[in-house]
A and B are shown apart, each in its own frame.
Chain A
């Protein structure tokens, strides 16, 4: 790199423009439906705006014909939180295990990676069939939970691997030399160092589960999660109420992401302050 302060070349501006277009491509559509969700009561699915109102948001909450929006939203949040907790816990534990060689560690690693590659619909179909054959009723908190974990756990595991790869064992040795028990070492040394990354694992766990469609399709049983509900709406709702729902769920996602990122940043800052004070 030429360092800061040098004259920027033409290629920088071309690439920056390309990047800008890419960001527009990423966010433009969702911004459009956000605007269109404020359509007047007479408005349609496309521009022009026919007045501005909150009609479709109100519609979303009062009209029961749309489906069980409230219930599916609550189920998706409960499921997302469960997946989040289990993903953090299981991948952290497995991360500790993988720091040593154990029988089957290679096979388990390949199984986890395979979980990322196997098409979602196969997981859905397989679990659906399995439960069908065993005569177990699929439920969103049972079979769908398992289906979601097959998607979130590999991400969690790979993130935990990345952390442990950069982890300096000297901290643990120091704690041990000072007479800490294994539990104390984990509790007061390892976990605080890992915490920001574990928040990242949690973010993956919650949001991937909250938005998962394909893996829920055959595993949710008789009660819909939010993505299933939204999908149902796309086939029979042709009013901006669809956009209102899209706007609300996206806003919710952004809030969740914002909270997680804020959490990571607060931890970073606190640590910086602490190490700065020590120096």
Chain B
């Protein structure tokens, strides 16, 4: 594969006169750099340099009007010694853990159904698309769409009341931690379904057949054959879900009605108060925490063969 990338240049270069051949081979060597250039440049300018800027600014000083280039550790000191930070981290990790467990259970079950119980490939593709289409629609609209369900006079409350299960509307449905986790699961379950489905589709069906012939029950097949082989997909889905929830602020703000906190929300609030160095220090710590979580997950499962 590597040799055939721009092969005809090689053949024409060998046919060309010697001096032209040298120039050609230099040009040929430059080709991958030119091809990767736009991607590399975009990521450098809009990802790497901005993150380095955040790291630099996290050591700057500020007052209520502007920020000053400096080298102070007060931003980190204030952040790490404040009990609010620790409580907020605890809350954010709680959201991430709950969302992870629920999306994993849903994602695995849905992917298992699609990969092993839907027989026709056409139906498999159709149902898979049905699962993925919401991924391409607006997250904010999808959050808003829970209001008529969860509100005080919403469908769920009126349904429960008319069923006689409760006599007063439940107040905790909308604007609560419950609503936040529900919205996270709603938004991010797809990030589990897709990679797990992808892993399961690569499992050799003969293995499942062999396990069954060996007398394994359906549950044993799932637990001992499918689950271990689906691990790379589970890891990729988990990385997506955990990093998305850890960095989120909009879902927590909208669905908790300002009654719950997350690190992302804390950063967003500091930004709106123009406390950029404080926000930057917070962001650096968040990035470190997220990276540690990702590395830990990669330690457990090797995903390289999925790429």
Query: A residues within 8 Å of B by Cβ?
Result: 1, 3-4, 9, 11-12, 15-16, 18-19, 22-23, 25-30, 32-33, 36, 45-47, 86, 89-91, 93-94, 96-105, 108, 111-112, 114-123, 125-130, 132-133, 143, 146-147, 149-150, 153, 157-158, 161, 164, 167, 169, 172-173, 176, 180-182, 185, 203-204, 207-208, 210-211, 213-214, 217-218, 227, 230-231, 234, 242-243, 245-246, 249-250, 253-254, 256-257, 261
User: Which chain B residues (38-55) contact chain A, with CB distance < 8 Å?
Assistant: 38-40, 42-51, 53-54
Provide the bound-state CA to CA distance between A172 and B47, in Å. Answer: 35
With contact pairs A119-B246, A129-B276, A257-B133 given, residues A97 and B51 touching in the complex (Cβ less than 8 Å): no
27 A–B contacts, CB within 8 A, in A order: A4-B119, A15-B113, A15-B117, A29-B145, A33-B148, A90-B42, A101-B2, A105-B36, A108-B39, A118-B47, A119-B287, A120-B247, A125-B280, A126-B47, A126-B51, A126-B54, A129-B57, A147-B46, A149-B46, A169-B1, A207-B137, A211-B138, A211-B140, A214-B248, A230-B138, A230-B144, A246-B144
Provide the bound-state CA to CA distance between A105 and B8, in Å. Answer: 23
B268 at interface, CB cutoff 8 A: yes
B133 to A213, Cβ gap below 8 A?
no
A161 to B47, Cβ gap below 8 A?
no
* Chain B residues closer than 8 Å to A249, beta-carbon distance: 137-138, 141
Provide the bound-state CA to CA distance between A114 and B208, in Å. Answer: 35
* Chain B residues closer than 8 Å to A214, beta-carbon distance: 247-250
A119 to B307, Cβ gap below 8 A?
no
With contact pairs A23-B130, A129-B50 given, residues A90 and B39 touching in the complex (Cβ less than 8 Å): yes
B4 to A173, Cβ gap below 8 A?
yes
A185 to B53, Cβ gap below 8 A?
no
Q: How far is the CB of B201 from chain A (nearest CB, A)?
A: 12
16 additional A-B pairs beyond A45-B147, A112-B43, A125-B280, beta carbons within 8 Å, are A26-B134, A29-B148, A32-B145, A33-B141, A46-B155, A47-B154, A94-B40, A116-B243, A118-B47, A118-B287, A119-B248, A121-B268, A128-B271, A146-B46, A217-B268, A254-B133
B158 at interface, CB cutoff 8 A: yes
Contact of A126 among B2, B53, B119 (CB under 8 A): B53
Residue of B nearest to A35 (CB): B148
Count class of interface residues, chain B: 35 or more
B64 at interface, CB cutoff 8 A: no
Residue of A nearest to B265 (CB): A121
B142 to A30, Cβ gap below 8 A?
yes
* Chain A residues closer than 8 Å to B268, beta-carbon distance: 121, 217
B144 to A111, Cβ gap below 8 A?
no
A169 to B307, Cβ gap below 8 A?
no
* Chain B residues closer than 8 Å to A97, beta-carbon distance: 31-33, 35-36
Task: Pick the 5 closest A-B CB pairs, nearest first.
Answer: A119-B247, A126-B50, A146-B46, A29-B145, A97-B35
Q: Mark B15-38, 1 if CB is under 8 A from A, else 0.
A: 000000000000000011101111
* Chain A residues closer than 8 Å to B205, beta-carbon distance: 1
* Chain B residues closer than 8 Å to A118, beta-carbon distance: 47, 51, 247, 287, 290
A125 to B8, Cβ gap below 8 A?
no
* Chain A residues closer than 8 Å to B149, beta-carbon distance: 28-29, 32
Residue of A nearest to B294 (CB): A117
Provide the bound-state CA to CA distance between A204 and B136, in Å. Answer: 7
Residue of A nearest to B145 (CB): A29
Provide the bound-state CA to CA distance between A16 and B48, in Å. Answer: 45
Q: How far is the CB of B220 from chain A (nearest CB, A)?
A: 13
* Chain A residues closer than 8 Å to B271, beta-carbon distance: 125, 128, 218
B148 to A46, Cβ gap below 8 A?
yes
Provide the bound-state CA to CA distance between A101 and B32, in Å. Answer: 8
A96 to B5, Cβ gap below 8 A?
yes
With contact pairs A93-B35, A125-B283, A253-B138 given, residues A169 and B4 touching in the complex (Cβ less than 8 Å): yes
